[in-house]
Structure 1
Amino acid sequence: MESSGTALSCTRAALLLLHLGLTSSMAQKNEFQTGLVGGEVTLNCTGILPESQLPRDSVVRWKYSDTLLWQTSSLLTKPIFSKEPSFIAGRSDIKMQYKQLSVRDLKLSDAGIYTCEYGTHKVHTSLHIVNLEISLDGHFLQNEVAKLILTQNSSSPLPDLSITLFDNNNNRVTPEIQKKNLQEYIVNLKKLETMDSGTWVCQIHSDSPLINQNISFPVKVLGFQNPDLERKYATVDSAVILSWRLNSQKIKWKKGFTGQINWKQQEGAESHVLLDFDITAEQLHETKKSNNLLFEIPESKPESHIEVKLPKVHFNHSGQYQCQLEYERRHAQSKIELVVMKVSANPAGPLSRGASVTLTCQVSGPLAPDAYLSWEPVNGSKMDIKKSKQREVKLEVTISTAGLWSCDLIEGSDKKISFRYHVEEASVWIINVIIGASIGGSLLAFALGCLCIISGVRWQRRRQRAKRMAQARQHLLENKTCQCQQ
């Protein structure tokens, strides 16, 4: 019986200890929560009854370390009694239903232990604060490198964070991560392109304490929707428009910026500023600056386009046309390479029978690696086609047959530009000249003949009149002689 009583006592003692342990664990609870600088958190007083079920004499306190933040009691004439310290003044509230503590506009210094007390009931919440700062306030120019600085603060030992980035299309990005110490991480992104504009996500993770936090941040990249180097092709005496498409409206860029367009014939040559422009509140203002090149600023054009029109292209108008943006003393640029084609013949003029003529096709260059020139008759045999070597900027062909010939600039499998030249046959031209001359000669001979006939008639009449007068005089003299003899 003694042993049975002893066993019962041990069981009761074990149950009592277990009850005390459960009571203690229920009375005191530790939680962990993560907040972002500038954001808001709500700290729970876990296990507390709703306000309507609390005893009248209940008092609930919120503390930061040993500093009293809030005290509430239904016995007070005012339900909330505040003793906020200066560091959190105006940034915290109590949600009365479950006595939750809300803190907004978080700062790194807000990290620490927050305790909710209700009788013997205590809940300790360790608030871990993270700050993500993006360089240049998230406003970049094309080809610039973005830098992210991730800072964390906690009252507990700082965890070793793993960082993953996702771009605006939710594609995982592998950045260069520099870890100065556990408090600060530096993340370098690649050179940004205009298509990178949008909302990115920085994902941070830790196993102990358990942290899974997604931090979104905006990225705006101001630049051109053109390729970095675009080639434009034109023939001599044609019109061409050079256009740069900005993405300022697409990404809703609210800040003002300026720019200019300049031109130079080749690398190392003197650069000429053609026009200046500035964009403020989506209003474009352009100012023509150069008279060295005959060009126009089109009045009607698509939005966010900067354009220059050459109404009549000359061969020496070729070269690099660069549009440059400037924002906060930083620059981005995009170039258009204008390639001009011309065709000439030696000797010039119609082709005589049995003779030959050399046709020369020339482009201002430079050309793409897979580009070449080709001469071919428009309605002739494919056997007469002549091609240049790749990247050659001049091609000659000698022909002895008149007709229509075409010089083509081909890049890869695409025909970029064509220039047609008509070789006339000399015999046709000579016949035309002879016929014209014959007709003209006949008309002249006819006119001269008419004039001669008229003159001859008049001369004949005068001669006959003179003869009759002479005969009359002779007859008169004879009559007088006869009278004298009688």
Structure 2
Amino acid sequence: RSDIKTQYKLSVRDLKLSDAGIYTCEYGTHKVHTSLHIVNLTISLDGHFLQNEVPELILTQNSSSPLPDLSITLFDSNNNRVTPEIQNRSRQKYIVNLKKLKTVDSGTWVCQIHSDSPLINQNISFAVKVLGFQNPDLERKYAIVDSPVILSWDLNSQKIKWKKGFTGQLNWKQQEGVESHELLDFSITAEGQLHETKKSNNLLFEIPESIPESTIQVKLPKVHFNHSGQYQCQLEYERRYAQSKIELVVMKVSANPAGPLSRGASVTLTCQVSGPLAPNAYLSWEPVNGAKMDIKNSKQREVKLEVNISTAGLWSCHLIEDGDKKISFHYHVEGASVWINNVIIGASIGGSLLAFALGCLCIISGVSWQRRRQRAKRMAQARQHLLENKTCQCQQ
């Protein structure tokens, strides 16, 4: 592993800790001594991690001289200084634990070591790849009942050029403590090709076409209230796991009694969302137009809010979180007179259309009958004319 480059230069390749020591160059009666101090840095799992895993760095040094006390400083892939947790601090070996990794931590890190005596200032670069989801660990998505919704998870495997295959699955459960249902499983090859297999018939969903590679996506074409719950996408690599959850919150509105609002009567509107909600979330009923009533709010984290109204108009139920309207359901309460007028107008239009259709049918039938009558008359005249011709011939 060594070559003499010139008369006075020695090159050693693939240094090992055991190569540390004193090297002597002799030239005639002259001797020159050089001390070689070797530092080795290794990272656990060969630098390939899943999100939320904690890497372990091992820094080892060897020298023929007394080993110095090293100062260790780390910089992440964004050049931010990281304060490590040193588990073992013998002068020969330093074991350092880093923070929990996020997908944005992928890239080149730098370990900076320093010593005053002997003077050491050395930067050691090492690569870190963090496989996971570009979604948060937990996010909420909101939908109105009977509307479509798309749930999507973006993997970063292509972005960080992850060259190893892995698998995963998508599970759904309505609430904690109940059995989960596997919706689909997937695999991504070392070349980055995604393969998906639909597994469940308990939930009507579609796998959209023409989606980007490394994206797991399902579409619920018509959300039902009981489709709410946790949708967990989980990936597996070498028996290690990472996951990201989407909490689907569904809103519905009902009226009791249903139908038009009669004069002097009242109706109860119920707005309900699937729980649980965030600690600072609440429901709010708001009149939009035609209705004269103050806004009514629920207590925080309540999943149902009722309001009694006696005025027709448009009402909106909002789910508000941190002052933002996350989702709104607009419900129109019609008055009986409006409803009756609509029925009369509809009946009039329907009757007119029916009369018009019957008139057209009568005209068509009359024209057809007239044509048949004229055709029969012409045929009778032709027969009479033919008969007269035959009679003339016999008389001659």
TM-score (norm 1): 0.70
Render the CA deviation track for 1:199-238: whole Å, top value 9, x for unaligned: 1111111222111111111111111111111100000110
Aligned to 1:273, the other structure's residue is in SS state strand
Aligned to 1:169, the other structure's residue is in SS state coil
Q: Are residues 155 and 386 of structure 1, via their aligned partners in 2, closer, same or farther at CA, if it must alter by over 3 Å?
A: same
Aligned-residue offset at 1:243: 0.5
Question: Alpha carbon RMSD of aligned pairs, Å?
Answer: 9.3
Paired residues of 1:376 and 1:382 also in contact (CA < 8 A): no
Aligned-residue offset at 1:97: 6.8
Aligned-residue offset at 1:281: 2.6
Aligned to 2:289, the other structure's residue is in SS state coil
Paired residues of 2:54 and 2:100 also in contact (CA < 8 A): yes
Paired residues of 2:175 and 2:229 also in contact (CA < 8 A): yes
Structure 1 stretch displaced more, 312-321 or 418-427: 418-427
Aligned-residue offset at 1:432: 5.0
CA distance in 1, matches of 2:330, 2:385: 88
Paired residues of 2:291 and 2:311 also in contact (CA < 8 A): no
Structure 1 stretch displaced more, 427-436 or 457-466: 457-466
Q: Are residues 203 and 458 of structure 1, via their aligned partners in 2, closer, same or farther at CA, if it must alter by over 3 Å?
A: closer
Render the CA deviation track for 1:51-100: whole Å, top value 9, x for unaligned: xxxxxxxxxxxxxxxxxxxxxxxxxxxxxxxxxxxxxxxx111222753x
Render the CA deviation track for 1:286-327: whole Å, top value 9, x for unaligned: 000000000011112133211111011000000000000100
Q: Are residues 463 and 324 of structure 1, via their aligned partners in 2, closer, same or farther at CA, if it must alter by over 3 Å?
A: closer
Q: Is structure 2 residue 393 aligned with structure 1 residue 483? A: yes
CA distance in 2, matches of 1:483, 1:136: 121
Aligned-residue offset at 1:480: 52
Query: For structure 2, which runs of at least 5 residues remain unmatched after alignment?
Result: none
Paired residues of 1:237 and 1:312 also in contact (CA < 8 A): yes
Aligned to 1:384, the other structure's residue is in SS state coil
Q: Are residues 320 and 454 of structure 1, via their aligned partners in 2, closer, same or farther at CA, if it must alter by over 3 Å?
A: closer
Q: Are residues 476 and 401 of structure 1, via their aligned partners in 2, closer, same or farther at CA, if it must alter by over 3 Å?
A: same
Paired residues of 1:354 and 1:400 also in contact (CA < 8 A): yes
Q: Are residues 483 and 331 of structure 1, via their aligned partners in 2, closer, same or farther at CA, if it must alter by over 3 Å?
A: closer
CA distance in 2, matches of 1:465, 1:116: 131
Structure 1 stretch displaced more, 172-181 or 159-168: 172-181
Render the CA deviation track for 1:356-409: whole Å, top value 9, x for unaligned: 111111000211122111111222578532111111111111111111111111
Structure 1 stretch displaced more, 314-323 or 177-186: 177-186
1:212 to 98, 109, 121: 121
Paired residues of 2:290 and 2:311 also in contact (CA < 8 A): no
Paired residues of 1:114 and 1:124 also in contact (CA < 8 A): yes
Q: Are residues 218 and 474 of structure 1, via their aligned partners in 2, closer, same or farther at CA, if it must alter by over 3 Å?
A: closer
Partner of 2:285: 375
Aligned-residue offset at 1:454: 24
Please say which structure displays the higher CA radius of gyration: 1
Query: For structure 1, which runs of at least 5 residues remain unmatched after alignment?
Result: 1-90
Q: Are residues 450 and 411 of structure 1, via their aligned partners in 2, closer, same or farther at CA, if it must alter by over 3 Å?
A: closer
Aligned-residue offset at 1:429: 2.6
Paired residues of 2:26 and 2:32 also in contact (CA < 8 A): yes
Q: Are residues 401 and 180 of structure 1, via their aligned partners in 2, closer, same or farther at CA, if it must alter by over 3 Å?
A: same
- The size of the alignment, in residue pairs, is 395
Aligned-residue offset at 1:416: 1.0
Partner of 1:441: 351
Aligned-residue offset at 1:434: 6.0
Paired residues of 2:50 and 2:132 also in contact (CA < 8 A): yes
Render the CA deviation track for 1:414-469: whole Å, top value 9, x for unaligned: 21111111111112333455677899999999999999999999999999999999
Aligned to 1:362, the other structure's residue is in SS state strand
Q: Are residues 339 and 120 of structure 1, via their aligned partners in 2, closer, same or farther at CA, if it must alter by over 3 Å?
A: same
TM-score (norm 2): 0.85
CA distance in 1, matches of 2:389, 2:60: 155
CA distance in 1, matches of 2:61, 2:393: 164
Aligned-residue offset at 1:475: 47
Q: Are residues 469 and 293 of structure 1, via their aligned partners in 2, closer, same or farther at CA, if it must alter by over 3 Å?
A: closer
Aligned to 1:309, the other structure's residue is in SS state strand
CA distance in 2, matches of 1:278, 1:478: 96
Q: Are residues 427 and 125 of structure 1, via their aligned partners in 2, closer, same or farther at CA, if it must alter by over 3 Å?
A: same
Aligned-residue offset at 1:413: 2.2
Paired residues of 1:265 and 1:320 also in contact (CA < 8 A): yes
Aligned to 1:350, the other structure's residue is in SS state coil
Structure 1 stretch displaced more, 363-372 or 381-390: 381-390
CA distance in 2, matches of 1:465, 1:120: 141
Q: Is structure 2 residue 54 aligned with structure 1 residue 145? A: yes
